[in-house]
A and B are shown apart, each in its own frame.
Chain A
Amino acid sequence: GAGVSQSPSNKVTEKGKDVELRCDPISGHTALYWYRQSLGQGLEFLIYFQGNSAPDKSGLPSDRFSAERTGGSVSTLTIQRTQQEDSAVYLCASSRGGPIDTQYFGPGTRLTVL
């Protein structure tokens, strides 16, 4: 079975442009998470989807960030009007949910805002 996949693997954009990052979770996983990791830093939680419940958006750093999850599977993270401080690796993880929620990470998208 395939793991979590993300696309693109690398994205270079100009300041002010919008970007979309995609995540395909492991088949059968109901929970999906987005994190970001800035250079040399730990992982920062962004947003969490669980089934049909309202997403937990508590980690989104500004209203320029949004995410959708269509059909309970694929998710897209959108960053509008990108800024240089948005440069980071954006990681997606998925899990089965439940009390011991083991999350498995995708390879990440490295975003560079010039």
Chain B
Amino acid sequence: QKEVEQNSGPLSVPEGAIASLNCTYSDRGSQSFFWYRQYSGKSPELIMFIYSNGDKEDGRFTAQLNKASQYVSLLIRDSQPSDSATYLCAVNGAAGNKLTFGGGTRVLVKP
């Protein structure tokens, strides 16, 4: 079992719809959780982080964390074509500050 798992996609959503991305992790001691967006040929850029159970909203993005289920998700509301990218889930485990990344979910927003 991979330490951080994501569906590779592609996740195809129509413009204006909600994109829902999921991530599960194996290290129950994980402390903080990050979502990065990566455009093709570019480096990852931070969207948001979450460390408490529940929801955290930032603009059109909402991160949801459920530590009991070892599950973190990202919702993108009012999806735009510019949201088309690969979304990487990253987990900061109990062992230290290095991030463990999932393989990423490719999102395609169609006009």
Chain A positions within 8 Å of B, measured between CB atoms, are 31, 33, 35, 41-45, 48, 50, 56, 58-59, 91, 95, 97, 99-108
Chain B positions within 8 Å of A, measured between CB atoms, are 31-32, 34, 36, 42-46, 49, 51, 88, 90, 92, 96-104
Nearest 10 CB-CB pairings of A with B: A42-B103, A43-B101, A105-B43, A101-B97, A42-B101, A45-B98, A108-B43, A105-B44, A48-B98, A107-B43
| B48 to A: closest C-beta gap in Å | 10
Residues of chain A within 8 A (CB-CB) of B92 are 101
B96 touching A102, Cβ below 8 Å: no
Q: Give the interface centre of A31, A43, A95, A106 by most chain B CB atoms within 10 Å.
A: A43
In the complex, the chain B residue whose C-beta lies closest to that of A98 is B97
Residues of chain A within 8 A (CB-CB) of B49 are 100, 102
A95 and B51 alpha carbons, distance in the complex (Å): 17
A43 touching B45, Cβ below 8 Å: no
Say whether, besides A100-B32, A105-B43, A42 and B104 are in contact (CB < 8 Å).
yes
| B80 to A: closest C-beta gap in Å | 23
B96 touching A48, Cβ below 8 Å: yes
A97 touching B97, Cβ below 8 Å: yes
Residues of chain B within 8 A (CB-CB) of A50 are 97
Residues of chain A within 8 A (CB-CB) of B32 are 99-101
Residues of chain A within 8 A (CB-CB) of B96 are 48, 56
Give 6 A-B pairs besides A33-B99, A48-B98 with Cβ atoms closer than 8 angstroms.
Answer: A35-B101, A42-B103, A43-B44, A43-B88, A43-B90, A100-B49
Residues of chain A within 8 A (CB-CB) of B99 are 33, 43, 45, 103
Residues of chain B within 8 A (CB-CB) of A95 are 97
Residues of chain B within 8 A (CB-CB) of A35 are 101
B102 touching A102, Cβ below 8 Å: no
B97 touching A102, Cβ below 8 Å: no
Residues of chain A within 8 A (CB-CB) of B100 are 45
